[in-house]
Amino acid sequence: MKHIVISLLSLSVLLGCSKADLPKPKPQPKLMLDKGSLVLVGGALAGSNAEIYQRFIALAGGELQARIAVIPAASGQPVKYFKQFQADMVRYGLDEDQMSLFPVAVADDKNTADVDESTWRRGATDTQLAGHLSQYTAVWFLGGDQLNITATLAPNGIKSVLLQAIWDVYQRGGVIGGTSAGAAMMSEVMIAAGDSWGALTKGTTDTYHGIQDQENGPLLLAQGLGFFPHAIIDQHFDRKARFGRLIVATELSKVHFPMGFGIDENTALVYTAQDNSAQVIGAGAVTAIDVTHAKRIDNPKGYHIENVRLSVMQGGDRYNFDTEQFVANPLKSATVGHEYLNLAKPIVSGVFSRNSRLKDMLTFDLVDNKGSSEVVSYLHQGSGVGFTLRFVQDEHTTGYWQYLDGMLDSGSAFGVRLDIIPTEFSITPLTAASQELVEKPQ
């Protein structure tokens, strides 16, 4: 059997090398941290996002010391996306040979005629490959299907030798990062599929038919790799409106994991074990969901839960797991008592809303608006049972705001209450251009 570590400096050569051709062992690098760090990216990481790339490089030991092993198990095109990641890292000061593609995959990429990636299924059990990780300061997981990551690195829940080697990198102070699927697998409880509507109306499933199930249907939970010890992770969060499925996932896992962190695209949650805290960097937000004091109510009409707490972090905001406190970027100013808006009934109606995204609705229409202490939205598919989503600012809610990047707003909303109430909707079209929506709370 051939054992390979692929560096793009010599990709065509190393794809056919033998054990004897592997690079000579080098002295184990001395890392900067006493414990490891995690960089969890919500997907769609832009090559121009200097903040995230530079933070990952710094945690990996800096431009001169960083050596990054790339695990492509989730991806259907591992070589293509490795090259893209490598080019982005070179843009921020690394040399090409500071990154290596480790052969771990589940299916062949038909776009690489000279490589059969399906033979990489055994990569995670290769002891020589695992031993080679002792020379690395960082591991990066490409995006794709998170179930492929767990199937290769921890089949049937059993830790492979390569996974143990990745843990060793983390335990000696290295950084583990990943985007999309590479972030989803970081938690102990892993969200594998489903959307918010499916989770709220159909509950959970134990079947999986492929990556399309991640966009639609009931919630599928699976065993993750457990690098992030505190909560459940979700990704592509605000764009794909996944906070409903994350609420269901945390409520089902409430005994051990009552918190969830939903990470927006082009955004990272950076966790440092040394101080047991996490910081949000990048273009979007991370939404924290806490069901510790939430109450699930039996309701034959659908999923009914009250007193869920939502917190929107962005622009350098932090969460400390020891103190269980959200800490706004010190450059931000408090909005409560200094609100910008004064709107009695903010319009929340999907694409016609002024602030249609969750993070903007909570930071602008609610906590930075003295005219209203609640915002109400609806989830439905025409006539029939749907849900009323009632977001409330109460005595536990705080907000912050600042321009942090030119004239780009960066708001924070901590401790917003959310009640999800099953509701029957009846829609009667009046003309081709207008509809009447009648709400009938159960």
Query: In CATH, what number is assigned to the domain containing residue 50?
Result: 3.40.50.880
Q: What is the dihedral of CA 400, 404, 408, 413, to 10 degrees?
A: -20
Tokens of 279: 């910081």
pLDDT at 440: 59
Considering the chain, what percentage of its residues have pLDDT values greater than 90?
A: 81
More confident residue, 434 or 95: 95
Please say if the pLDDT value at position 139 is more than 90: yes
Q: What is the dihedral of CA 275, 281, 284, 287, to 10 degrees?
A: 0
Same-domain check for residues 117 and 230: yes
pLDDT band at 107 (very low <50, low <70, confident <90, very high): confident
pLDDT at 224: 98
Say which range, 147-161, 247-261, 291-305, 336-350, has the weakest mean pLDDT. Answer: 336-350
Same-domain check for residues 370 and 333: yes
Position 223 in a domain: yes
Please say if the pLDDT value at position 6 is more than 90: no
Tokens of 138: 């960082």
Position 30 in a domain: yes
pLDDT at 19: 33
Nearest to 420 by CA among 440, 391, 399: 391
Please say if the pLDDT value at position 367 is more than 90: yes
The total number of structural domains in the chain stands at 2
Position 9 in a domain: no
Question: Mean pLDDT of all residues in the chain?
Answer: 90
Same-domain check for residues 340 and 281: no
Which of these three, 253, 280, 300, is where a domain ends?
A: 300
Same-domain check for residues 339 and 286: no
Q: Determine the Cα–Cα distance for residues 419 and 18; give it in Å rounded to an integer.
A: 59
29-32 CB contacts, 8 Å cutoff, 24+ apart: 29/61, 29/65, 29/67, 29/135, 29/136, 29/137, 31/61, 31/137, 31/172, 31/173, 31/174, 32/59, 32/61, 32/62, 32/173
For residue 131, the surrounding DSSP H or E stretch is: helix 127-132
pLDDT band at 368 (very low <50, low <70, confident <90, very high): very high
pLDDT band at 390 (very low <50, low <70, confident <90, very high): very high
Position 123 in a domain: yes
Same-domain check for residues 358 and 222: no
Q: Taking residues 258-264, report their average pLDDT.
A: 98
Same-domain check for residues 285 and 362: no
Position 225 in a domain: yes
Same-domain check for residues 195 and 277: yes
Same-domain check for residues 208 and 334: no
pLDDT at 433: 55
Same-domain check for residues 175 and 265: yes
- For the stretch 37-52, pLDDT in tens is 999 999 999 999 999 9
Please say if the pLDDT value at position 438 is more than 70: no
Q: Taking residues 419-441, report their average pLDDT.
A: 75
Same-domain check for residues 100 and 28: yes
Same-domain check for residues 267 and 133: yes
Position 183 in a domain: yes
Task: Give the residue numbers spanning the domain of 117.
Answer: 22-300
Q: Determine the Cα–Cα distance for residues 379 and 356; give it in Å rounded to an integer.
A: 13
Q: Report the SS3 class of residue 90.
A: helix
pLDDT band at 260 (very low <50, low <70, confident <90, very high): very high
Position 316 in a domain: no
Which residues are CB-neighbours of 34 under 8 A, at least 6 positions away? 173, 274
Contact 418, 287 (CB under 8 A): no
Q: Determine the Cα–Cα distance for residues 423 and 435; give it in Å rounded to an integer.
A: 18
Same-domain check for residues 29 and 134: yes
Please say if the pLDDT value at position 249 is more than 50: yes
Q: Chain-centre distance of CA 375, in angstroms? A: 26
Position 1 in a domain: no
